[in-house]
Amino acid sequence: MAVLVLVEHAGGAADDVSQQAATLARGYAEAAGQPLEAVLFGPDAAGAAKGLGALGVTAAHVAVHERLTAFAPQAWGRAIAELVETHSPAAVIAPGSERATEAMAHAAAFADLALAANCIVATPGDAAEVTRLRWGGSLLEHARVHGRTKLLTVAPHAVEAVPASAPSQAVVSEFTPHLEDADLVVQVVERTQTDTGGGVSLADARVVVSGGRGTGSAEGFAPVEALAAALGGAVGCSRAVTIAGWRPHTDQVGQTGTKIAPEIYIPCGISGATQHMAGCKGAKRILAINTDAEAPIVANADYAVIGDLHEVLPAITAEIQKARGG
Amino acid sequence: MPLNILCCVKRVPMTGGRMVLTADEQAIETRHLGFTISPHEECGVEEAVRIVEGHGGSSTVLTLGPPEAEEQLRDAMALGIDRAILLQSDGELDGQGTAAAILEAIEAERAAGTEYDLIFFGNESADAGNYQVGIRVAHALGRPCVTGLKAIAVDDGALRCEQEVPGGRDVYRVPLPAVVTVKEGLNLPRYPSVPGRMRAKRKPLERRPVAAAAAGVEKVRLAVPADQGKQAQILGRGPEAAPAVVDVLRSAGVL
């Protein structure tokens, strides 16, 4: 028996969320007294697989198949379920990325096993004890996961990635999953690029300035846009704004919008509902601008300016230009 | 080609502030809260109505929840869904249990002569966030499932689906019948009209009991995460705070 971790990779290395999942999986494996092994996909996985020894992985299973040319969630799920069948791992632990989560749900359906999504703590046992996120992290659930193999995903950016204190050599082997035609019906056929108009994307921006109901209208975003432009940042908004049709949903920060992780987040005229905070937990600093000093956003911020965004933002933008113009 | 569409939704409380739990820590205290359809599924309802408006056919909304979930089913019918199925359950089921109950209802519909060409789910429910119910149902039906969709186009017995990924969109093409899971942003749901609300009251709603099954993911208790203990430093009031803001931006390394 072993504990398996699903590793997604780019540029020949495990990505951030997979390293986090591997860290949680290593702790789980150590507590269960079992080796940590990995499963990877793609013809270019071998390089990333070799590097996994640093995370404590002793064996890496690379799935290769001539028809598996692009991401195909059901095919990934089939391959994972096959490893569950042939290797009887105590657990399969995956990062809580969109793709890995989707593949794990397929694996769970194939193997008829329970799946606990977005875990932040997991302890092995006859029933595994987990703590998982609900409401995008605004609520925690302590749960017991049953079944011969426990299937878990790890909430992104909730567990710190730590290399193993005693690195191992990962033995890399390839296997060919037995895919059926139906497993390849859902496969990416095309990738379109999003035009960000030369600006930075919300998810990657170092500065995000968001407007809420306090902007009052679509036109009311002018000072928000001006400050974002002055800082080379991206414009965001709250759900109330997208529902009112003032901004597109692609600008929405929150549980059902984009999750952001800037150096500084500047929410303006946003009350700070839990669903909004679930999207900006990754921000290093929050500077709230709000007329109401009692608003939840102020309680959740590092800094606050109490005032009307239509007066405060132009003053900040002017001050930045003054500081730059010196 | 007219389509017969099933749209699965979940009733969730309209939380906004800090969550408060019931004394037994099994649920959120909802005595002072209203309820709504989980945001992703609201867009599923809108999309189902639009597809039937454009291509013909009929639409059914289904939920698994308490008797009070009739409210959300009537809301969906007010937007244009034709009929509703309420799978009544006292407790909360896990992902496997939810999928099994929905599958049983779909099979009962099939036995009664109703076959669905397209089944909508939310990508994940707002509250439990299990990320699996739609996929499990698709497996049991032997149908393809595309998840997390931000755009859907019905074209000659097939679906063109778009999923948002970093830097762009991934495109999938799948034949019907199919299962899709969607995300908020797929469309901007309409507001129900007054005549729509009136019509919704008279639309057929069928109730079926669901027995609780042993959960594979067994909830022990809920907990509210510890407060981050942040006490915002007030930089000032009104435009006079601008110089202090610039100092903060400088210390954050973004100026």
A160/A261 same-domain check: no
Would you tell me how many other CB atoms lie within 10 Å of the CB of residue B146? Answer: 26
Alpha-carbon distance A56 to nearest alpha carbon in chain B (angstroms): 28
Same domain as A178, residue A242: no
A59/A163 same-domain check: yes
pLDDT tens, residue by residue, A112-170: 999 999 999 999 999 999 999 999 999 999 999 999 999 999 999 899 999 999 899 99
Using the Cβ of B10 and the Cβ atoms of chain A, whether some distance falls under 8 Å is answered with: no
Which is more confident, B211 or A267?
Answer: A267
Q: How many Cα atoms are found within 13 Å in the side-chain-facing hemisphere of A165?
A: 2
* Beta strands per DSSP E along chain A: 3-6, 9-10, 13-14, 36-41, 57-63, 91-95, 115-123, 128-134, 139-145, 150-154, 171-175, 190-193, 207-211, 234-237, 264-268, 285-290, 303-306
**Strand partners of residue B28:** B21
- Within-domain flag for B68: yes
Q: In this structure, is residue A202 part of a structural domain? A: no
pLDDT value at A196 more than 80: no
98-127 of B, contacting A, C-beta below 8 A: 124, 126-127
Residue B234 lies in a domain: no
**21-40 in A: which are within 8 Å (CB) of B?**
none
**pLDDT over 70 at B244, yes or no:** yes
- If asked whether residues A9 and A156 sit together in one domain, one would say yes
The reported pLDDT for the residue numbered B228 is 61
Residues A158 and A290 in one domain: no
User: Could you tell me the sign of the dihedral formed by the alpha carbons of A276, B76, B150, B40, in that order?
Assistant: positive
ipTM over 0.90: yes
Rounded distance between C-alpha atoms, residue A321 and residue A318, angstroms: 5
Last residue of a domain, one of A125, A153, A184: A184
Q: Is residue B49 part of a domain?
A: yes
Q: What angle do CA A93, A95, A99 make, to 5 degrees?
A: 115
Q: Is the residue at B251 inside a domain? A: no
Same domain flag for A221 and A150: no
DSSP label of B192: P
DSSP H helical ranges for chain B: 39-55, 70-78, 95-111, 133-141, 194-202, 242-251
Residue A47 domain-assigned (yes or no): yes
In a domain, residue B35? The reply is yes
Q: Could you tell me if B232 lies within 8 Å of chain A, comparing CB atoms?
A: yes
Q: Is residue A201 part of a domain?
A: no
**What is the rounded average pLDDT of the residues B50-61?**
97
- Find the CB nearest B172 among A186, A299, A308: A186
Q: What proportion of chain B, given as a percentage, has pLDDT over 70?
A: 99
- The label of the residue with tokens 């070799």 reads A50
Q: Angle between the B133-141 and B95-111 helix axes, to the nearest 10 degrees? A: 40
Residue B160: pLDDT over 70? yes
A63 is a domain residue: yes
| Strand (E) or helix (H) holding A263 | none
* Cβ atoms of B78 and B196 closer than 8 Å: yes
Question: Are A273 and B223 a contacting pair at CB < 8 A?
Answer: no
Domain that residue B44 falls in: 3-209
Residue A44: predicted pLDDT: 83
% helix / strand / coil in chain B, to the nearest 5? Answer: 30, 35, 35
Judge: B232–A101 Cβ closer than 8 Å, yes or no.
no
Q: Do A104 and A46 lie in a common domain?
A: yes
Tokens of B76: 């969906």
Tell me if B230 and A239 make a contact (CB, 8 A cut-off). Answer: no
Mean pLDDT of the region A292-298: 93
Print the domain residue range for A176.
Answer: 3-184
Return all residues near B177 (Cβ < 8 A) that are at least 6 apart. B115, B116, B117, B118, B119, B141, B143
Query: Taking 90 as the threshold, does the pLDDT of residue B36 lie above it?
Result: yes
Which whole number is the average pLDDT over A202-221? 96
Kindly indicate the confidence band of residue A70, based on its pLDDT and cuts at 50, 70 and 90: confident
- Residue A198 domain flag: no
Q: What is the mean pLDDT of residues A297-324?
A: 95
- The upper half-sphere exposure of residue B126, i.e. CA atoms within 13 Å in the direction of its Cβ, equals 25
The answer to whether the Cβ–Cβ distance between B15 and A275 falls below 8 Å is yes
Establish if A290 belongs to a structural domain.
yes
Find which of A249, A259, A309 to mutate to test the B interface (most B CBs within 10 Å of its CB): A249
pLDDT tens track for B71-123: 999 999 999 999 999 999 988 999 999 999 999 999 999 999 999 999 999 99
pLDDT at B42 over 90: yes
Grade residue A198 by pLDDT with cuts at 50, 70 and 90. Answer: low
CATH (domain of B10): 3.40.50.620
Tally of domains in chain B: 1
Is the model's pLDDT at B151 over the cut of 70? yes
| Average pLDDT for A237-250 | 95
- B168-205 residue pLDDT tens: 899 999 999 999 999 999 999 999 999 999 999 999 99
Instruction: Scan residues 64-93 of B and list those with Cβ closer than 8 Å to A.
Output: none
Residue A277 is classified by DSSP as H
Task: State how far the Cα of B13 lies from the Cα of B30, in Å rounded to an integer.
Answer: 7
A191 neighbors B169 (Cβ within 8 angstroms): yes
Mutation target among B131, B230, B250 for the A interface, most CBs of A within 10 A:
B131
* CATH classification of the domain holding A61: 3.40.50.620
Query: What pLDDT is stored for residue A326 in this prediction?
Result: 60
Region A2-27: mean pLDDT is: 96
Q: Within B68-212, where are the H helices? A: 70-78, 95-111, 133-141, 194-202
Please count the structural domains in chain A.
2
A242, part of any domain: yes
Residues A89, A17 share a domain: yes
**A62 & A123 share domain:** yes
Question: Residue A240's domain is classified under what CATH number?
Answer: 3.40.50.1220
* One domain for residues A134 and A253: no
- What's the pLDDT band for A197 if we cut at 50, 70, 90? low
Residue-averaged pLDDT of chain B = 95
- Cβ contact (<8 Å) for A298 and B232? yes
Distance of alpha carbon A274 from alpha carbon B101, whole angstroms: 30
Domain termination residue (choose one: A184, A199, A219): A184
Report the gap between the CA of A190 and the closest CA in chain B (Å): 5
Q: Mean of the pLDDT values across residues B43-48?
A: 98
Question: Is a pLDDT exceeding 90 seen at residue B226?
Answer: no
On whether residue B196 sits in a domain, the answer given is yes
For residue A262, tell me if it sits in a domain: yes
Q: A50 with A160, same domain? A: yes
A138 and A223 housed in the same domain: no
What average pLDDT does this structure show over B136-140? 98
Q: What is the pLDDT of residues B15-24, one digit of tens each?
A: 887 789 999 9
pLDDT band at B128 (very low <50, low <70, confident <90, very high): very high
pTM of the model: 0.94
